[in-house]
Structure 1
Amino acid sequence: MSTQTAYVPSYALDEWWTPAAGTAGTEVYDASNGQTLGQVSATGLDIKAMIHHARTVGQAGLSALSLHERALILKQLALYLGEHRAVLDELNLRTGATKKDGFVDIDGGIGVLFTFSSKGRRELPNSNVIEEGPVEVLSKDGSFQGTHVFTALPGVAVQINAFNFPVWGMLEKFAPSFIAGVPTIVKPATPTGYLTEACVRLMIESGLLPAGSLQLISGSARDVLDHLDYRDMVAFTGSGSTANQLAKHSNVTEGGVRFTAETDSLNAAILGPDATEDTPEFKAFIRSVSTEVTAKAGQKCTAVRRVLVPAGFRDAVVGALAATFDERTRAGDPHAEGTTMGPLASMDQLRDVRGAVGRLVAAGGTLAYGDPELQDAVTQQGHEAASGAFMSPVVLTWDDPEAPEVHSVEAFGPVTSVIEYQDVNDAVRLAAMGGGSLVATVCSHDPAVVVALTRGIAAHHGRVHVLDRDDAKTSTGHGSPMPHLIHGGPGRAGGGEELGGTRAILHHMSRTALQGSPNMLTAITGVWHAGAHQQLAGDPAFGGSPQNVHPFRKSLAELRLGDGFVSGLRQVSREEIQAFADTTGDTFYAHTQEAAAEANPFFPGIVAHGYLLVSWAAGLFVEPAPGPVLANYGLESLRFITPVAAGDSIRVTLTAKKITPRVTDEYGEVAWDAVLHNQNGELVANYDVLTLVEKENVTYKNW
């Protein structure tokens, strides 16, 4: 946001937009000193046109790129944001967040881009169709088959975000949507939306994003759902009451708009009965809870709101928390030296938190530490503390652990409640009274306690964080969702799932059942299906042709799905089986002891080792001269079906199944379908051989 601009701009139809001069807007303030930073208004913004632009221009630009190409853009975007983050760091302090809080928000958001970029390129095909197997053969002769495919939603992803993570909250939704190929319209919360705007501005200025793939609404978007239909999705983070209103919109209930929500959460941290004051677990627990109370001034959907401790432990836990707050917590202006916890995001937010604490006290909570009215704060020179939304940490205790309010009223600030449980089953029951939460920490070094608590509470939580002495130093923490794993929770937590690696990407795609012939399935999915066309080199007795080029002589530019090789038969001898056993040390009785092998119901007598057969198969299909095949890097889905006894023979058919060029390298991956048959045509084994192959036959072109 430019300091000369009265309004926080929106970005619509690939242009920056502000409302007409004189339009009434909502003022936004520096959380520390009350200074006006600008106004926010979307009055006059054509949201219907933005959605149309996303569905047309945005969809066209994204679909012109493959999944891998879009994933690579995220990496480049992460690098660009990292190089130009100074403006984000400065605006972060104005939101009331400390530099450390900013690390979670800004660096966390950039880290999400890196993670999704990496996972997208490693785990997904370099195409725009993802097949979800296994294939179902629907006819006796295999000419009619079925599978499932994922393709990008043909609409727009509207992402409505909360005020507490203006950068991470946007990027954790944008990243999977972008890789999937779905344009994004971001609607940030008003109090901190100016930081989101600054991040979006950098993203646009990078020049990396296709036209129409990212738009921004600064201000109210009350009618956005009016213009959406079954092609579109809404991902909401915020209050449960707002989420419930949106979920009742007719375009959600009747029109097919996909709606997910991540909302209120009364998260718990449970101290195991074995974690007494003299244990590493007790210290780790106190450190974890105190961090969650003060990070982002407690304005985190994952913050610890309920501290469940064994009966008799309450005073020790409260005392340890109080000592930690006294020693480590100084509320104040994030610009000021010595500040460890910033103010709440706004004066309105401060009033809301104080009101929630008042309701908790009225319901039976006792203030054991802190004062919600206290504004003793470190301030930057020249600024008055009274003009900022400062508040001390607050700890409440409860004589009645079943008081409904402690399990239902969320004070969205540096506030937590300590309640006692009688036994492990009681702890499970109390944790579940939260009505569904994003995360719970279980802190114990007793496996029996951890198993009982985790199994008891898992269905009530989206994530369970197990903390003990073994992971206390390496754990990313109770309140840190990781992009590799899902973030969400059941019940009052909204029921949605975000992040989760490739799961989040698939969430922005549509699963479709696909039926057809092997040739048509191969053409649609980009994955060869058994029964589809093959061009085989090798033994004419089994369908090969000596005139066809061995597939290992072909670069990616020449190789096609269905290219392959079929070998002749190789007979297995008893002497070779024994030699393999002696050489490897694998003297399992089925390979070395005739009587014992014959007694085994699975074997006809002594049989060849499965790995011996796989090794022989490689010898049967490998083209040994240097060429575009650079390396073998593994096998997948190996299954042994029919035992091979001495005197039997095997042959192998190798077919190019999946070809994945790398965007950044001069080579790519090829997955080969490998099938072993015996002399009777019976299936012996099947698996995928994974190789790295040059895009062009460069390295060994003169060999």
Structure 2
Amino acid sequence: MYEYAKLFIGGEWWVPSTGEMTEVISPHTEQPIARVAAPAPADVDRAVAAARRAFDEGPWPRLDPAERIRIVRDLARRYQERVDEVAQVVTAEMGAPITFSRSAHARLPGVMMRALADLAETYPWQETRPGFYGTGILVRSHPVGVVGAVTPWNMPMLMVVAKLIPALLAGCTIVLKPSPETPLDAYLMAELIEQSEVPPGVVSILPGDRAVGEYLVAHPGIDKVSFTGSTAAGRQVAAACGAALKRVGLELGGKSAAVVLDDADPAAVAAGVQVAGLMNSGQACVAQTRILVPRRRAPEFVDALAAMVDELSVGDPFDEDTRIGPMVSDRQRERVRGYIEQGITAGARIVTGGEAPPEGLDKGWYVRPTLFTEVESGMGIAQEEIFGPVLTVLEYADTDDAVRLADDTAYGLSGSVWTTDADRGLAVAGRIRAGTFGINQAYSMDPHAPFGGVKASGIGREFGREGLAQYLETQSISGFD
């Protein structure tokens, strides 16, 4: 049983203003695994005040970028020493299969930290340009200010790193609000920050509920909000930031398509979709759960996909053979089951899976991985983000029809194209409105590649040089020469 009775505010541990604690429940056993401090608005006020002082008066924004980069590299080194612990913690708190936790939840954030520090070393923090009127122009990048960051439960440590590290490299101070479902990895990061050279006041971490997040987003001491979560919540965040003219970055939902061209190999597509569509037990915003297949070859691809889904091991997330773990909460499990029922009612056909719980699992928030065919694009299971192990197969007539179907959604976060002709795949990718795309693979979360969506999938980018720029303001000075 983990227990954290204090909150990490401005680099120090504080008893929460209310003294209340919340329980963290294992998605596998349905039993408590931790008790953590519950923040309230007064704790947000304290954290924002500390961040405000550290930004307005402290050394962090005024350090040479090279010094901030050095401190972030040291933080990355400390993180690497505890990477195995991160994997164990994330699997315990959100039920991700341990093999996925090791690679994506634990190792990838460490890779991102080092890669983002590399990018910062080459970033043009200051440059001169010839002015149109004959005098020089000096262009400088300055930190945007105090950042309020809200991160989700599905990729908890990765999303903390995605916001924390660029903010630190830019010279910002930050108040992080991780999800209350997955607070334990955030506490681990707080311990690493405490041991690092990051100055007092620069970082606060308050795992809180929706009300705490809303209070943080609307707080007058916050200059920029970075939010990852649902599209519905993102609209509320955007409205609050718009009213206050705050900078805002939104990484929201997705309903991504895997476009299978008529020259693709069914076995290769099925193996790829296992990752692209069912990573993290389907609880991923980039999950490509709409599988678009050519009508004349549809039976081949459906058979290959069904065989893949049938072979997936569902169960204890700490078992090395498990590929599909539990949903993060009972509410999430019921949401996914509801969509399966909705698909049946709408007339789609289940090839494998369904509403019944997985065999032998009478405890834990499990859902059988499910494959639908005979799906029409207007059905809810083809339009709405399910966030669980549910795949839908849609048939298309030709390439133009495939592109139309891929774009026939409010979202535009990710996607992929599967083909033996990479040039043909690249041409198709360029026709689809999505912020990230893969050819014969899911989007790879390369730290040098900007990540984000279009349409209802968000505003702005994370990772890459573009992600760092989201935490910077640009100042131009003329007449200096």
TM-score range, shorter chain: over 0.9
Q: How has the CA–CA distance of structure 1 residues 159 and 441 changed in structure 2, closer, same or farther, with 3 Å as cutoff?
A: same
Deviation of 1:369 (Å): 1.4
Is contact 2:44–2:216 with CA below 8 Å preserved after alignment? yes
Give runs of aligned pairs for residues 432-451 of structure 1, distance below 5 A.
Answer: 432-446=407-421, 449-451=424-426
What is aligned with 1:225? Answer: 217
Give the 3-state SS of the residue equivalent to 1:410 in structure 2: coil
Deviation of 1:195 (Å): 2.1
- Deviation per CA, 1:553-598: give whole Å up to 9, x if none: xxxxxxxxxxxxxxxxxxxxxxxxxxxxxxxxxxxxxxxxxxxxxx
Measured on the aligned residues, the alpha-carbon RMSD in Å equals: 2.2
CA distance in 2, matches of 1:352, 1:406: 12
Is contact 1:343–1:391 with CA below 8 Å preserved after alignment? yes
Please tell me the residue identity of whatever aligns with 1:135.
P
Is residue 2:306 matched to residue 1:318? no
Please tell me the residue identity of whatever aligns with 1:41.
A
Is contact 2:177–2:205 with CA below 8 Å preserved after alignment? yes
Is residue 2:197 matched to residue 1:244? no
What is aligned with 1:3? Answer: 2
Please tell me the residue identity of whatever aligns with 2:173.
P
Give the 3-state SS of the residue equivalent to 2:437 in structure 1: strand
Deviation of 1:498 (Å): 1.1
Is residue 2:278 matched to residue 1:301? no
Q: How has the CA–CA distance of structure 1 residues 399 and 137 changed in structure 2, closer, same or farther, with 3 Å as cutoff?
A: closer
Please tell me the residue identity of whatever aligns with 1:286.
A
Deviation of 1:283 (Å): 2.9
What is aligned with 1:642? Answer: none
What is aligned with 2:71? Answer: 73
CA distance in 2, matches of 1:172, 1:15: 23
CA distance in 2, matches of 1:194, 1:226: 25
CA distance in 2, matches of 1:337, 1:116: 31
What is aligned with 1:134? Answer: 129
CA distance in 1, matches of 2:289, 2:61: 44
Give runs of aligned pairs for residues 209-608 of structure 1, distance below 5 A.
Answer: 209-220=198-209, 221=212, 222-228=214-220, 232-249=223-240, 252-275=241-264, 279=265, 282-327=266-311, 329-336=312-319, 338-376=321-359, 385-400=361-376, 402-446=377-421, 449-457=424-432, 460-467=433-440, 477-500=441-464, 502-518=465-481
Please tell me the residue identity of whatever aligns with 1:304.
Q
Deviation of 1:419 (Å): 0.4
Q: How has the CA–CA distance of structure 1 residues 82 and 451 changed in structure 2, closer, same or farther, with 3 Å as cutoff?
A: closer
Is contact 1:105–1:166 with CA below 8 Å preserved after alignment? yes
Q: How has the CA–CA distance of structure 1 residues 22 and 64 changed in structure 2, closer, same or farther, with 3 Å as cutoff?
A: closer
TM-score (norm 2): 0.92
CA distance in 2, matches of 1:21, 1:404: 46
Q: How has the CA–CA distance of structure 1 residues 165 and 451 changed in structure 2, closer, same or farther, with 3 Å as cutoff?
A: closer
Unmatched tracts of structure 1, length 5 or more: 378-384, 468-476, 519-703
Unmatched tracts of structure 2, length 5 or more: none
CA distance in 2, matches of 1:513, 1:65: 20
Is contact 1:442–1:450 with CA below 8 Å preserved after alignment? yes
Is contact 1:29–1:38 with CA below 8 Å preserved after alignment? no
Is contact 1:239–1:263 with CA below 8 Å preserved after alignment? yes
Deviation of 1:72 (Å): 1.9
Give the number of the structure with larger relative contact order, counting CA–CA contacts within 8 Å between residues 6 or more apart: 2
Is residue 2:139 matched to residue 1:148? yes
Deviation of 1:465 (Å): 0.9
CA distance in 2, matches of 1:17, 1:313: 61
Is contact 1:303–1:479 with CA below 8 Å preserved after alignment? no
Give the 3-state SS of the residue equivalent to 2:447 in structure 1: coil
- Structure 1 or 2, whichever has the larger Rg, is 1
CA distance in 1, matches of 2:157, 2:375: 40
Give the 3-state SS of the residue equivalent to 1:265 in structure 2: coil
What is aligned with 2:99? Answer: 100
Please tell me the residue identity of whatever aligns with 1:393.
P
Q: How has the CA–CA distance of structure 1 residues 517 and 14 changed in structure 2, closer, same or farther, with 3 Å as cutoff?
A: closer
Q: How has the CA–CA distance of structure 1 residues 393 and 91 changed in structure 2, closer, same or farther, with 3 Å as cutoff?
A: same
Give the 3-state SS of the residue equivalent to 1:484 in structure 2: coil
Give the 3-state SS of the residue equivalent to 1:498 in structure 2: coil
Give the 3-state SS of the residue equivalent to 2:392 in structure 1: strand
Is contact 1:297–1:341 with CA below 8 Å preserved after alignment? yes
Deviation of 1:486 (Å): 0.9
Among 53, 57, 64, the residue aligned to 1:56: 53
Higher strand share: 1
Name the count of aligned residue pairs.
474
Is contact 1:439–1:462 with CA below 8 Å preserved after alignment? yes
CA distance in 2, matches of 1:152, 1:4: 35
Give the 3-state SS of the residue equivalent to 1:146 in structure 2: strand
Q: Report sequence identity in percent.
A: 25
Q: How has the CA–CA distance of structure 1 residues 507 and 130 changed in structure 2, closer, same or farther, with 3 Å as cutoff?
A: farther
Is contact 1:84–1:202 with CA below 8 Å preserved after alignment? no
Please tell me the residue identity of whatever aligns with 1:74.
V
Is contact 2:382–2:392 with CA below 8 Å preserved after alignment? no
CA distance in 2, matches of 1:44, 1:137: 50
Please tell me the residue identity of whatever aligns with 2:299.
D
TM-score (norm 1): 0.64
Please tell me the residue identity of whatever aligns with 2:181.
P
